């Protein structure tokens, strides 16, 4: 008996690609939002704070449906993207967007905490030496917050890798196009006689997640030691 089906490997590779794209694509915005929430007070600060963490409390299916309404082929933004050749609904890129949205709060949080832990006087010293806002962020804030950025990357990757509800609602489960590892596992649980295959897929998902966590822990520890 074959432990895995031909589409399983494609689902695993697609999940890795989706998680990587979601993490890399979401990181710049996560950095910007984390900095705004940590260092600025403005009208709408509380609203931005609430909106950032909204995907954590909303049912993932609701988030996926909102993405479908907004970014689907009939949605206001989706029509524009479709017109320029960037379809999202029922396409792997849509899976990356859904995963990025769901992972976003988990990426913002550790970066924000790292920035808040930085002594403001350090940034002020750089300002008095003539460094502008962008230079201060790139040369001072970002390096000091690097452990939080590393934590954000692994949390975002792990969440994107395991995302299911928003993804299946927004892009479906098309083999070799939008069928990701979590959806593949779900479908295997619904197929009589596929218990062994389900266990193998779960073991693969766990191994990837553990590897990502251990790798990020090593990077974070070295960054922290380098700072000390």
Count Cβ atoms within 10 A of the Cβ of residue 54 and give its class: 0-12 exposed, 13-18 middle, 19 or more buried: middle
CA distance 106 to 56: 9
Per-residue DSSP letter, 191: S
CA distance 2 to 157: 29
Tokens (6 digits) for 183: 């959806």
**Tens place of pLDDT per residue across the chain (228 aa):** 467 788 899 999 999 999 999 999 999 999 999 999 998 888 888 899 999 999 989 999 999 999 999 998 888 888 888 888 888 888 999 999 999 999 999 999 999 999 998 888 888 888 787 777 788 888 888 888 888 888 899 889 989 999 999 999 999 889 889 999 999 999 989 888 888 889 999 999 999 888 877 877 777 677 666 555
CATH assignment, 6-227: 1.10.3720.10
CA distance 79 to 38: 35
pLDDT score for 220: 66
Tokens (6 digits) for 201: 């897929």
Q: Which of 178, 227, 212, 186 is nearest to 15 (CA)?
A: 178
Question: Dihedral, CA atoms, 29, 31, 36, 37, nearest 10 degrees?
Answer: 100
**Domain layout of the chain by residue ranges:** 6-227
pLDDT score for 141: 85
CA 112-164-213 angle, 5° bins: 50
CA distance 64 to 215: 30
CA distance 146 to 68: 34
Q: What is the DSSP string of 154-171?
A: HHHHHHHHH--HHHHHHH
CA distance 55 to 113: 19
CA distance 47 to 45: 5
CA distance 49 to 33: 9
CA 164-67-149 angle, 5° bins: 65
pLDDT score for 225: 66
pLDDT score for 1: 44
Q: Which of 205, 214, 206 is nearest to 11 (CA)?
A: 205
């Amino acid at each position: 008996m074959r432990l895995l089906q031909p589409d399983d490997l494609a689902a695993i590779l697609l999940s890795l690609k989706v998680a990587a794209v979601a993490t890399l694509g979401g990181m710049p915005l996560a950095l910007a939002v984390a900095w705004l929430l940590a260092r600025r007070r403005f009208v709408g600060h509380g609203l931005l704070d609430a909106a950032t963490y909204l995907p954590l409390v909303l049912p993932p299916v609701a988030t996926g449906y909102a993405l479908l309404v907004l970014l689907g082929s009939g949605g206001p933004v989706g029509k524009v993207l479709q017109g320029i050749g960037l379809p999202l609904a029922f396409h792997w890129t849509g899976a990356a967007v859904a995963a990025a949205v769901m992972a976003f709060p988990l990426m913002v949080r550790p970066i924000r905490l790292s920035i808040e832990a930085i002594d403001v006087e350090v940034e002020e010293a750089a300002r008095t030496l003539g460094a502008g806002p962008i230079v201060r962020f790139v040369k001072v804030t970002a390096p000091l917050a690097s452990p939080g950025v590393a934590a954000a990357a692994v949390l975002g990757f792990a969440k994107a890798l395991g995302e299911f509800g928003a993804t299946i609602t927004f892009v479906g489960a098309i083999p070799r196009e939008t069928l990701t590892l979590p959806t593949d596992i779900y479908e295997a649980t619904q197929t009589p006689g596929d218990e062994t295959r389900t266990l193998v897929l779960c073991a693969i998902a766990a191994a990837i997640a553990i590897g990502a966590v251990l790798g990020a822990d090593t990077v974070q520890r070295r960054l922290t030691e380098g700072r000390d």
